[in-house]
A and B are shown apart, each in its own frame.
Chain A
Amino acid sequence: KNEVEQSPQNLTAQEGEFITINCSYSVGISALHWLQQHPGGGIVSLFMLSSGKKKHGRLIATINIQEKHSSLHITASHPRDSAVYICAAVFQGAQKLVFGQGTRLTINP
């Protein structure tokens, strides 16, 4: 069964801390997305990756294909990073996104 699991479900940290959100999936994938959803519902695509590592500003996404695992890191976290972060996988042979349940991140000043 094609499944995506995220951890932790909720994460509260202080401003400036280094944040890691994890995503694991059940079988082989062709791509993995990291998304950010703010209160009110709007979703922004942060990264799409199929191997290695990508960086954009304070955000870094990595993926280990052999271990079926991806991580999203936030350096020097800020209260504006507070949001729900969702990973979504494209399983091989399937043409649709399968979503994790999301990680609710709260950064306190």
Chain B
Amino acid sequence: KAGVTQTPRYLIKTRGQQVTLSCSPISGHRSVSWYQQTPGQGLQFLFEYFSETQRNKGNFPGRFSGRQFSNSRSEMNVSTLELGDSALYLCASSVQRGPSDTQYFGPGTRLTVL
């Protein structure tokens, strides 16, 4: 089975722009979670989607949003980018809903905001 894929792998944007990141889960996985990793804050949970519905959300502003399609692929959008949004964004898929299931991580999208 193919692993979790994320596109693009690298992205450079300027402040005020918006960005959309994509995540394709492992075939048969219905849950997709998104995480932000920065040197200062480490890994933090953004949100989880299961069956096209957002099930859980972390402590991030409303500029961070996402969605999930019927084929379980997920997108994450960040509007009005700030310098502090520079980070590695990881998605992870799992068979079942929630974090008490093995998470399979993608390679990440490294976002740089100038």
Contacts and interface: CB of A to CB of B under 8 A. Distances in A.
Interface of A: 30-31, 33, 35, 40-45, 48, 50, 86, 88, 90, 95-102
A97 B45 contact: yes
A41 B42 contact: no
Nearest to B3: A42
Contacts of B33: 97
Nearest to A89: B99
A42 B100 contact: no
A100 B102 CA distance: 17
A44 B44 CA distance: 16
A86 B45 CA distance: 14
Contacts of A100: 42
Interface residues of B, number: 25
29 contacts: A31-B100, A33-B99, A33-B103, A40-B107, A41-B88, A41-B107, A41-B108, A42-B107, A42-B108, A43-B90, A43-B92, A48-B100, A48-B101, A86-B43, A88-B43, A95-B48, A95-B56, A95-B98, A96-B45, A96-B48, A96-B56, A96-B58, A97-B35, A97-B43, A97-B99, A97-B103, A99-B43, A99-B44, A100-B42
Most buried by B among A33, A41, A101: A41
A45 B105 CA distance: 8
Listed residue (B33, B43, B88) with the most chain A CB atoms within 10 angstroms of its CB? B43
Nearest to A102: B42
B104 interface: yes
B67 interface: no
Contacts of A101: 42
Contacts of B103: 33, 45, 97
A100 B37 CA distance: 12
